[in-house]
Structure 1
């Protein structure tokens, strides 16, 4: 079960679940993924490449993967659809132990880019002030597209997140050239693993991580602590390894 019910710190997990398939689409592993995600005992989970429910009248009815993963553990969840195909749709999702009082999916891509990319913005209420803003992100594969998407993400942060309210931005940034930090630093975001260890975590491919693609950024928090995760069973559950961190928030007494 989630650990931090007083809301003064959050354990967060981010993982690209590859639509529930293992590396190279060899196996459908959604049930194993659910057990692995639950074992981390996170308060908040950021998911990328998660399937939504099939549309009414679809040839094969399919339940939403984020609902299956959240079942009986995380009280609230939100989904932002970014890509639609004749028999498929997928996007980002957030699972939260705390109530999600607001959610909105913002498009980050221009119309010509397929698949579309987006950021799912959620606000959670911890029964203490201020609320926490969560943004689940999946950026594109091409450098030029990512730069456009980072500018759009920065605009969303500046427009939607008041100064002083804690913000966590996590997901698959596909930033193999290590250029995202310079842009996100301008809006006050700090990456947890780079801040602590001096470099981003290796996360792709999960079986033998070489590239540093996945991130957890924070702003207006009291402290951060990256959490080590076991290689197994994650190495056989997706093409991306997950990242986890403990985020310390200001106590209620420190809030305005």
Structure 2
């Protein structure tokens, strides 16, 4: 792990229901496996929901990848949960999860300290709201309330990723871009849209990094499989410690 970049993937999996309306967590796991990602941040994951067969999608996908899942429900109704997950086979440290200020559907964030060799990396995964003012409040909370600093005395190298529901011209994107770097811009290639998966028009899914991380490469994965597995395309970044 010390000699090669860490591969980090963010992916809104749409409850594992594809653009062909087929429910298939195995197909999502196949998309992830093809990338060789070390750390996977998922949004729109169902756990125990009747509409998707009552299974724990985070656990199923992690099991297929021979990894561990850390799940945070942004929404809980009785036994049914819906939210975000971070999946990895790397050792993990402190985990933090909680709600974000929400006017509409409840939103949250999940952060996991991940141990890569003799270094630690903080990965924060979120799915922001649909309203502009709400997204600004949510991003302000993430940037200013200790979410990005972990529990270490000195701030850890940090990745903030997920479905921000925000295009690059939005106020939310501009807010985060003031203090963190967009991996798609830092990775060299021209940035690509992630939504909708069949005919991507909007760049809603993002990976942002602190200055102590180097982005070797970043890419949106557009294949026959990714075009049907979810309504979003996955975004992969290869990062290493500066």
Matched, 1:35 2:30: yes
Partner residue of 1:9 out of 5, 9, 34: 5
Aligned match of 1:253: none
- Residue 199 of structure 1 and its aligned partner are, at CA, apart by 6.2
Q: How does 1:1-256 map to 2 (within 5 A)?
A: 5-6=1-2, 9-23=5-19, 26-53=21-48, 62-71=54-63, 73-85=65-77, 88-110=80-102, 113-129=103-119, 131-155=120-144, 156-157=146-147, 160=150, 163=154, 165-176=156-167, 177-186=169-178, 188-197=179-188, 200-219=191-210, 220-227=212-219, 229-250=221-242
RMSD across aligned C-alpha pairs, in angstroms?
2.5
What do the CA deviations read for 1:77-116 (whole angstroms, capped 9, x no partner)? Answer: 2111101235632100001121121111121124xx2321
Larger Rg: 1
**C-alpha spacing 1:124/1:238, structure 2 compared with 1 (3 Å):** same
- Residue 239 of structure 1 and its aligned partner are, at CA, apart by 0.8
Q: Give unmatched runs, 5+ long, in structure 2.
A: none
Aligned match of 1:254: none
**C-alpha spacing 1:78/1:7, structure 2 compared with 1 (3 Å):** farther
CA distance in 1: counterparts of 2:163 and 2:11, whole angstroms: 8
Asked whether the equivalents of residues 26 and 64 of structure 2 are also in contact (C-alpha less than 8 Å), the reply is no
Asked whether the equivalents of residues 181 and 191 of structure 1 are also in contact (C-alpha less than 8 Å), the reply is no
- Residue 22 of structure 1 and its aligned partner are, at CA, apart by 1.3
- Residue 139 of structure 1 and its aligned partner are, at CA, apart by 0.3
- Residue 151 of structure 1 and its aligned partner are, at CA, apart by 0.6
- Residue 136 of structure 1 and its aligned partner are, at CA, apart by 0.6
Aligned residues: 238
CA distance in 2: counterparts of 1:7 and 1:153, whole angstroms: 31
